Amino acid sequence: MEIKEIHEIIAKENVKFIEMEFTDIFGVLKSIEIPIECLKDAVEKGLWFDGSSIKGFTRIKESDMYLKPDLSTFAIIPDDKEVKTARFFCDVYTSNGELFAGTPRTVLKKVIEEAKKEGYVFKVGPEVEFYFFKKTADGKIAIPDSDDGSYFDSPTGDIGSEIRKEVMLKLKAYGIHSERAHHEVGHGQHEIGFRYDDALVTAERVITLKKIIKMVAHKYGLIASFMPKPLFKKPGSGMHIHFSLFDLDGKPLFYNEEDKYKLSPLAKSFIAGQLSCIKEMSAILNPTVNSYKRLVSGYEAPVYICWGGKNRSALIRIPHYTKGRESSVRAEIRCPDPSASPYLAFAALLKVGLEGIKKKKSLMPSYEENIFEQSKEELEKIGIETLPESLSDALKIFKKSDLMKELLGDKLFGNYLYAKEKECEEFRIAVTDWEVNTYL
């Protein structure tokens, strides 16, 4: 979108403020509000801010940084307020005018350019799961009484259904077309997905979706949570990611008519790269201590490193192909969760996939049996491994990964590792309710 067109929309809609949006290294949304009169300067010269105040960005002596809006991300924020506000996603620059390498947006843009040089466009479509909670009179968190549905239940006075519809309408006002929304397995649990698109566009749609869900939930007096495992012995929340490659002219590169799964040799090498590096990027796809409460062997969790077609117990699944829809041939990775930064998650999946193509990696044989019914001994016999069992274990593998260091760059890699190791240590020494109830 050109700046002239943006100014015309701003004048027509009587927009008074602009939110300059960006994220910290973990994908948490940040913003600075400016009056509309300051937009011209922000576009031409950037908006200065203190980078040392943003988690994982930079040290105090290097704190001067500035934001420059990406004009293609302009949107008017749909809310009920009389004073209208628009937003841009922004790139972060250092004081010497260089694009700051330590932001997730920069990392994703860099690996997208790597793919483009090879003639590839990476497209993704995530399915974001989440819970609604209410705060009780005694300050505790509980599932809303009016949200007791289960998987695909038709709404009957279900407050979650009303919120999902409102979220989808607000997404549409942003220019984001969601394809489906439904109740998930758990009481209070839901899913919203939208049409696949280029990785950078989709990453920012995920960030926008999470913002809108929280905003609408708050309106109803509820709390929206993207915590991977908020409730003991209840379903966890994932962010399954569908993905495929296209060439620069839009031709699908995953399709092969002769293959059983309709996968091209390039697609198989791409998927092989992901499976072979999945442990290295677990700390990015599943970045919290709580993530590994969801990824537990013996439950219906995607922890087994293998792939298949209809097999939903496999880590990577190949959805059914419909004749005449070659562009829909794709793979679905099922372990990521919504606590992950979508910028870093998509960047990691693309990076290791490109590595698989570059090294012409061979894809392991597919596995179509229900892995949940297999014993540990049987899995070991057929060579199926599992994901790391904790964030601490994942970080030990991440720390040794040259590929992850190359992806993130020395600065972001070091900051990310330091913060996550600190998180593990804080969890290790914390005294939990379970310990008190068991040992006191």
H runs (alpha helix) in 220-309: 265-277, 282-285, 291-294
For residue 97, is it left (φ>0), alpha (ψ between -120 and 50) or beta? Answer: left
Strand partners, 83: none
H runs (alpha helix) in 158-244: 159-173, 199-219
191 is known as an active-site residue: yes
- Do residues 208 and 171 lie in contact, with contact meaning Cβ atoms separated by under 8 Å? yes
280 is known as an active-site residue: no
Q: Given 312, 385, 393, 423, which residue is catalytic?
A: 312
19 is known as an active-site residue: no
Question: Can you read off the two tokens belonging to residue 409?
Answer: 């760059």
332 is known as an active-site residue: yes
Q: Given 166, 332, 337, 355, which residue is catalytic?
A: 332
Work out whether strand 15-23 and strand 29-35 pair parallel, antiparallel, or are unpaired.
antiparallel
DSSP 3-state of 389: coil
H or E segment to which residue 121 belongs: strand 121-135
423 is known as an active-site residue: no
- As a whole number of angstroms, the distance between CA 279 and CA 397 comes to 7
- The residue type found at 40 is K
How many residues are given for the chain? 440
- The Cα-based distances of 259 to 252, 254, 255, 267 in angstroms read 15, 11, 9, 11
Q: Given 127, 158, 204, 355, which residue is catalytic?
A: 127
Q: Given 191, 204, 280, 355, which residue is catalytic?
A: 191
Q: Given 50, 378, 410, 426, which residue is catalytic?
A: 50
Q: Given 19, 190, 334, 355, which residue is catalytic?
A: 334
Q: Alpha-carbon Rg of the chain, whole angstroms?
A: 22
- Do residues 365 and 308 lie in contact, with contact meaning Cβ atoms separated by under 8 Å? no
**Closest to 262 measured CA to CA, from 327, 313, 314:** 327
Q: Is 383 exposed, middle or buried (0-12, 13-18, 19+ CB in 10 A)?
A: exposed
Q: Given 24, 91, 129, 147, which residue is catalytic?
A: 129
First to last CA, the chain: 62
Work out whether strand 307-308 and strand 316-317 pair parallel, antiparallel, or are unpaired.
parallel
Residue entry with tokens 């699944």: 317
Q: Given 187, 240, 242, 317, which residue is catalytic?
A: 240
258 is known as an active-site residue: no
Q: Given 19, 91, 158, 184, which residue is catalytic?
A: 184
- Do residues 123 and 197 lie in contact, with contact meaning Cβ atoms separated by under 8 Å? yes
- Do residues 201 and 73 lie in contact, with contact meaning Cβ atoms separated by under 8 Å? no
- The Cα-based distances of 147 to 24, 153, 226, 249, 438 in angstroms read 33, 11, 17, 45, 32
198 is known as an active-site residue: no
166 is known as an active-site residue: no
41 is known as an active-site residue: no
**Closest to 306 measured CA to CA, from 297, 298, 315:** 315
Give me the active site residues, please: 50, 127, 129, 184, 191, 240, 312, 332, 334
